[in-house]
């Protein structure tokens, strides 16, 4: 018991310090990561939490991540998956969202409305759209980030775009 | 059209509205967080060691009814139950400011239900009367205990209205707050008041599944469900949970085989062996979604792989 207590004391007393490579990475990339998280979740405060959480995890595993030669990809993947798996205590989302059958807005479709429709997409679909159109990821890269198959990526992208496209077509053709 | 939407999405997502101020001392901020995690982890280890040092002798002297979580999957038992359990859902919300016409842009019909999403940036309550083409005013409540009236909806969340209709050869609509919502070729004879179906409440457990990628029709297949208590406290199982297993359209409720387990300790996972049957009628090549959801005694749920709503298996 005594040697173990000694080891625990040592663990507490040895304060973690950021390796230089990690410090440089955080200084150089945290702003872009904040912006990415904001685009992903649409909420500034949640974006800060997601990036803080992801960078802490990256810092603790830095030696392993640095060897993989793509620390930014690792952190973006962590941010995306933490966003998708978030459990909010009193505000649960429907988990089996289905695409709408038709979408017929009665108004013009300025970017503001397109932004709102994006905000209303289920998380998985929104994440696919953001990874494709903000980061220009390929389907394979999106699949790797989300930990799913390219089939699932295609299906989510297709559903999301169908929702947005139908509304756009309805506006072009005039209200019913 | 596709190209235009692609371009607009790229433009919107790269807009300055999403720009964020950088942190003043990002390295310092992250370092503080990491030190806190390491401290918490050290404390957790210390507590575990202490508990072991005190607990092992105590367990030997005073054995309790709670068995430690097993490392191998608890065997499957076929214990079908007839009645689905009551599921805990979000409590009814107090009414918010009434939704405005400008909030009602995006709508769609799925099955027997009209959905209208809140396009505003604030919560609002949709209770305004809606009138059908034939002059009938929508109202009343259709069966369904989980429905909450009126519809108080957050941005992006849809309000719902149940419809009774037949397919016809003319296009119809329903008018609410002066906005005409198309119903397509559906001649509606009755419609409910606006309501929401509140989301289920989750137990603090994380569930994952390992299932084969391919299955054979007319045969059973085995898979494993892992239930993880990632919290720093014990999760009690006063009553062994029931669970819903759904493969494609085929859903069954069963009771879990807890094998005497009365709790899941902190930071511990428990595996359960599961078995499902693929009907003969499934075509070769069909891709079926396997859903799994456990229900606790208080009605809270733990859903396997919620991000993808389960896993897909292919019939070969």
In chain B, domain spans: 1-63, 101-191, 206-315
B53 pLDDT band, cuts 50/70/90, is low
Q: Which of A57-61, B16-20, B68-72 has the highest mean pLDDT?
A: A57-61
Residue A92 lies in a domain: no
Q: Classify domain B206-315 at the CATH superfamily level.
A: Immunoglobulins (2.60.40.10)
How large is the average pLDDT for residues A56-63? 91
**Interface membership of A10 toward B (CB under 8 Å):** no
Residue A99 lies in a domain: no
**Interface membership of B139 toward A (CB under 8 Å):** no
* Strand B235-236 to B263-264 pairing: antiparallel
Residue A1 lies in a domain: no
| Number of structural domains chain A divides into | 2
CATH number for the domain harbouring residue A149: 1.10.10.10
How large is the average pLDDT for residues A74-91? 74
Nearest CA in chain B to A169: B1
Contact B13 A39 (CB under 8 A): yes
| Res A98 pLDDT > 70 | no
Q: Which of A90-94, A142-146, B72-76, B247-251 has the highest mean pLDDT?
A: A142-146
pLDDT over 70 percentage in chain B:
91
| Chosen domain end from A56, A87, A118 | A87
Q: Which residues 104-163 on chain A approach chain B with CB closer than 8 angstroms?
A: 104-107, 111, 113-121, 123-124, 129-130, 133-134, 146, 148-149, 152, 161
Q: Are residues A170 and A115 in the same domain?
A: yes
Q: Are residues A80 and A115 in the same domain?
A: no
Residue A140 lies in a domain: yes
Closest CA to A29 of A71, A85, A84, A77: A71
Residue A8 lies in a domain: no
Tokens standing for residue A138: 């390929």
* pLDDT tens, residue by residue, B136-169: 888 888 877 778 888 998 888 889 999 998 888 8
Can you spell out the DSSP letters for A73-84?
Answer: HHHHHHHHHHHH
Nearest CA in chain B to A110: B8
- The interface predicted TM-score (ipTM) is 0.76
- Contacts of A64-67 with C-beta under 8 Å, sequence gap 24+, read A66/A21, A66/A22
User: Who among B19, B35, B155 is closest to A16 (CB)?
Assistant: B35
A4 pLDDT band, cuts 50/70/90, is low
Q: Are residues A81 and A111 in the same domain?
A: no
Task: Please report the pLDDT score of residue A7 as a whole number.
Answer: 60
Could you give the C-alpha distances from B50 to A8, B43, B45, B314, in angstroms and in order?
12, 10, 9, 49
| Res A64 pLDDT > 90 | no
Task: Please report the pLDDT score of residue A176 as a whole number.
Answer: 30
> Which residues are CB-neighbours of B196 under 8 A, at least 6 positions away?
B147, B148, B151, B152, B153, B157, B158, B159, B160
Q: Which residue has the tokens 């209200």?
A: A175
How large is the average pLDDT for residues B207-225? 92
Task: Please report the pLDDT score of residue A96 as a whole number.
Answer: 32
Interface A-B: count of C-beta contacts within 8 A: 177
| Res A103 pLDDT > 50 | no
Q: Are residues A79 and A134 in the same domain?
A: no
Q: In whole angstroms, what is the distance from residue B154 CA to residue B208 CA?
A: 29
Q: How many CB atoms lie within 10 A of CB B211?
A: 21
Residue A73 lies in a domain: yes
* pLDDT tens, residue by residue, B218-243: 999 999 999 998 888 888 888 889 99
B195 pLDDT band, cuts 50/70/90, is very high
Nearest CA in chain B to A176: B182
Residue A17 lies in a domain: no
Task: Please report the pLDDT score of residue A175 as a whole number.
Answer: 37
Residue A46 lies in a domain: yes
Nearest CA in chain B to A124: B307
Helix extents (H) in A42-175: 44-60, 62-68, 71-84, 111-120, 123-133, 139-146, 150-173
**Interface membership of B308 toward A (CB under 8 Å):** yes
Tell me which residue range forms the domain holding A76: 22-87
């Amino acid at each position: 018991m005594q040697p173990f207590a000694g080891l625990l004391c040592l663990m507490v007393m040895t304060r973690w310090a950021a390796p230089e490579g990690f410090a440089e990475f955080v200084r150089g990339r945290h702003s872009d990561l904040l912006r990415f998280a904001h685009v992903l979740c649409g909420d500034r405060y949640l974006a800060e939490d997601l990036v803080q959480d992801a960078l802490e995890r990256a810092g603790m595993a830095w030696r392993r991540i640095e060897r993989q030669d793509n620390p930014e990809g690792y952190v973006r993947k962590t941010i995306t998956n933490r966003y998708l798996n978030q459990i909010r205590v009193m505000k649960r989302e429907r988990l089996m969202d289905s695409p709408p059958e038709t979408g017929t807005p009665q108004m013009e479709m300025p970017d503001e409305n397109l932004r709102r429709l994006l905000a209303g997409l289920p998380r998985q679909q929104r994440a696919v759209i953001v990874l494709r159109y903000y980061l220009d990821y390929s389907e394979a890269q999106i699949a790797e980030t989300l930990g799913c198959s390219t089939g699932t990526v295609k299906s989510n992208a297709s559903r999301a775009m169908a929702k947005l496209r139908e509304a756009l077509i309805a506006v072009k053709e005039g209200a019913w | 059209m596709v190209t235009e939407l692609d371009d607009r999405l790229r433009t919107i997502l790269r807009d300055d509205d999403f720009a964020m101020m950088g942190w003043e001392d990002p390295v310092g901020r992250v370092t503080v967080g990491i030190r806190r995690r390491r401290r918490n982890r050290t404390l957790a280890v210390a507590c575990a060691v202490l508990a072991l040092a005190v607990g092992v002798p105590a367990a030997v002297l005073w054995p309790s009814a709670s068995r430690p979580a097993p490392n191998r999957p608890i065997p499957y038992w076929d214990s079908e139950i007839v009645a689905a359990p009551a599921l805990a859902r979000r409590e009814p919300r107090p009414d918010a400011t009434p939704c405005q016409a400008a909030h009602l842009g995006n709508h769609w019909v799925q099955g027997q239900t009209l959905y209208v999403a809140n396009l505003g940036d604030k919560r609002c309550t949709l209770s305004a009367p809606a009138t059908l083409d034939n002059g009938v005013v929508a109202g009343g409540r259709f069966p369904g205990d989980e429905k909450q009236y009126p519809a108080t909806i957050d941005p992006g969340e849809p309000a719902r209205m149940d419809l009774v209709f037949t397919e016809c050869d003319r296009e119809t609509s329903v008018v609410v707050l002066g906005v005409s919502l198309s119903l397509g070729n559906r001649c509606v004879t009755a419609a409910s008041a606006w309501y929401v179906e509140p989301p289920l409440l989750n137990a603090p457990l994380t569930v994952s599944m390992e299932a084969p990628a391919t299955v054979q029709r007319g045969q059973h297949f085995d898979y494993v469900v892992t239930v993880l208590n990632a919290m720093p406290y014990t999760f009690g199982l006063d009553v062994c949970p029931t669970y819903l297993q759904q493969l494609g359209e085929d859903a069954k409720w069963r009771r879990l085989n807890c094998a005497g387990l009365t709790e899941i300790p902190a930071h511990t996972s428990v595996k359960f062996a599961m078995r499902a049957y693929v009907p003969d009628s499934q075509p070769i090549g069909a891709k079926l979604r396997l859903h799994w959801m456990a229900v606790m005694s208080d009605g809270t749920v733990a859903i396997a792989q919620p991000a993808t709503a389960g896993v897909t298996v292919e019939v070969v």
